[in-house]
Structure 1
Amino acid sequence: MPITPDQQAEIDAQRGESRQTLRATVPGMEAHLYKAHEVLDHGFVRVIDYMGDDSAIVQAARVSYGRGTKAVQNDAGLIRYLMRHWHSTPFEMCEIKLHVKLPVFVARQWIRHRTANVNEYSARYSILDREFYIPAPDQLAAQSKQNNQGRGAVLEGEEAERVLRLLREDSTRAYDHYEEMLSQDGQQGLARELARMNLPANVYTQWYWKVDLHNLFHFLRLRADAHAQYEIRVYAEALCEVVADWVPLAYAAFEDYRMGGVQLSARGLDCLRRMLRGEEVNQDSSGMSAGEWREFKAIIDG
């Protein structure tokens, strides 16, 4: 259960407060504030604060006063131009602060995006909860034979049951020993900063993560992609829903040019032009490696 009754009561109290402000607000985003969007078995994503909206992007691009005089249609066109031509600074005018609860091994992937401000729950000062990520049966898969980073066929039958049993038993045993080492009942008890090293990578941690929209889009482009690991992709997908309500014009442009678009190398573009002229092109005549050609064909053939 990601949220306890006490935590939900605290969230309800936060959402029940209202303050007058002159800053830009977005109704769709206000509906997300403080609310916990559940992810995986014990995780969640919460919006703690945000700054800016679609108008802040075009305002920065035009360096205009206030809301400006341009029509919404023109704002959408400008945002699409900025996205199309890889402008970044106007999108950096919007920021979001999130509270995320996630397994440690997901956090280790997430932290590689170094363009954010992060403050993580400290197991040096506090004791981590007895909460572990245990995959759903349909997420238990063998190693892919084509991709060293990917998954293959889903495990079935006795093998799947054995893996789930081992995950649960090992997680429980490690946490039992963690508590045993920390205990001061009849002993001094090991320091928390040392005892934590015995915990598995599927234990849950929490952090506050603050990032601007430009770098958030970069995160989403990589982590909401179908090829991203499932356990981080579901967090990215939850964030996509939030961002679509926050900056709908910018998110629509992002979906079109980044998520739905493709990037070709100079060789790939040359091959595409040759194909459009009616020329038969294969890997040997493309100048591409086998991997490059496979990816190029996947783009062309859909």
Structure 2
Amino acid sequence: MTVELVKHSASDTDVLWAARVSTAGEQSLEEVGTDPERSAGLINYLMRDRHGSPFEHTSMTFFVSAPIFVFREFHRHRVWSYNEESGRYRELQPVFYIPGAGRRLVQEGKPGRYVFTEGTPEQHRLVEQTMAESYRHSYAAYQEMLEAGIAREVARAVLPVGLFSSMYATCNARALMHFLSLRTKSEDAAVPSFPQREIEMVAERMEVVWAELMPLTHAAFVANGRVAP
């Protein structure tokens, strides 16, 4: 997985001036560029009492490269803005996802209450061999159709969701917190989540970047149960 911050306008100070306009009006402009450390309590209050709109006055754009099935889950988060590479306009490259040895393979329990456990060496070999063989056949079929003059938008239909794609994804801090609350699993969370491991890997990397940009907001998010305001 690749997660890179492309550009941003996101800081703890952005939350403060947005919040203080409700009581200070034009005087809230004085908060722009001030040290947010002295107002950590206000950020925690906003998070705790779920006054979420001040956190929306931020923006982060990430470049993400991941399997298509990860993007299918991403697109459920509709407050984000997305632009993904198109199989209509370019020939897709043969980069496919095969789970690493640390990926737990066996699901036990019912949806919402299940856990994943380690697979056997035989199961890991089966996954690797079966996926690799399937990918080779599907990409060969894709190439055969392209060489025969079939349009890219038609030929791509044979490619599996394990194919890597790339996109730009833009969000504000409030939307990112909602994403993290659902797509990461943490002992600090007030509400349990059961994310698919692959999108959790992307979410974990985004959280590291965001925590550096907005450390006070991130700390308040964790302290208040990782619930989006």
TM-score by length of 2: 0.87
Match of 1:239 in 2: 206
Kindly indicate whether the alpha-carbon contact (under 8 Å) linking 2:13 and 2:35 is maintained by their aligned counterparts in 1. Answer: no
Alpha-carbon distance in 1 for matches of 2:98, 2:44 = 41
Indicate whether 1:98 and 2:56 are aligned: no
State how 1:271-282 maps to structure 2 within 5 Å.
none
Structure 1 stretch 104-113 or stretch 147-156: which is displaced more?
147-156
Match of 1:79 in 2: 43
What does the per-residue CA deviation read over 1:192-213, in whole Å, with 9 as the maximum and x for residues that have no partner?
Answer: 0011110011000111111111
Q: Which runs of 5+ in 2 are unaligned?
A: 22-27, 187-193
**Which secondary structure does the structure 1 equivalent of 2:66 belong to?**
strand
Alpha-carbon distance in 1 for matches of 2:113, 2:103 = 15
Higher RCO structure, 1 or 2 (CA under 8 Å, sep 6+): 2
Kindly indicate whether the alpha-carbon contact (under 8 Å) linking 1:221 and 1:258 is maintained by their aligned counterparts in 2. Answer: no
Alpha-carbon distance in 2 for matches of 1:126, 1:196 = 10
Q: CA deviation at 1:70?
A: 7.5
Kindly indicate whether the alpha-carbon contact (under 8 Å) linking 1:54 and 1:248 is maintained by their aligned counterparts in 2. Answer: yes
Match of 2:182 in 1: 222
Q: Which runs of 5+ in 1 are unaligned?
A: 1-42, 262-302
CA 1:142–1:57: 2 relative to 1, 3 Å: same
Q: CA deviation at 1:134?
A: 0.2
Q: Report percent identity of matched pairs.
A: 34
What does the per-residue CA deviation read over 1:62-121, in whole Å, with 9 as the maximum and x for residues that have no partner?
Answer: 120143697644410000000001111100001111111110001001110000111110
State how 1:283-302 maps to structure 2 within 5 Å.
none
Higher Cα radius of gyration: 1
Q: CA deviation at 1:144?
A: 1.7
Kindly indicate whether the alpha-carbon contact (under 8 Å) linking 2:12 and 2:36 is maintained by their aligned counterparts in 1. Answer: no
Match of 1:213 in 2: 173
CA 1:67–1:143: 2 relative to 1, 3 Å: same
Match of 2:215 in 1: 248
Kindly indicate whether the alpha-carbon contact (under 8 Å) linking 1:58 and 1:78 is maintained by their aligned counterparts in 2. Answer: yes
What does the per-residue CA deviation read over 1:177-234, in whole Å, with 9 as the maximum and x for residues that have no partner?
Answer: 1111111xxx4x1110011110011000111111111111100111122521110101
Kindly indicate whether the alpha-carbon contact (under 8 Å) linking 1:150 and 1:229 is maintained by their aligned counterparts in 2. Answer: no
Kindly indicate whether the alpha-carbon contact (under 8 Å) linking 1:100 and 1:207 is maintained by their aligned counterparts in 2. Answer: yes
Q: Which amino acid aligns with 1:216?
A: L
CA 1:182–1:66: 2 relative to 1, 3 Å: farther
**Which secondary structure does the structure 2 equivalent of 1:49 belong to?**
strand
Q: Which amino acid aligns with 1:136?
A: G
Aligned length: 214
TM-score by length of 1: 0.67
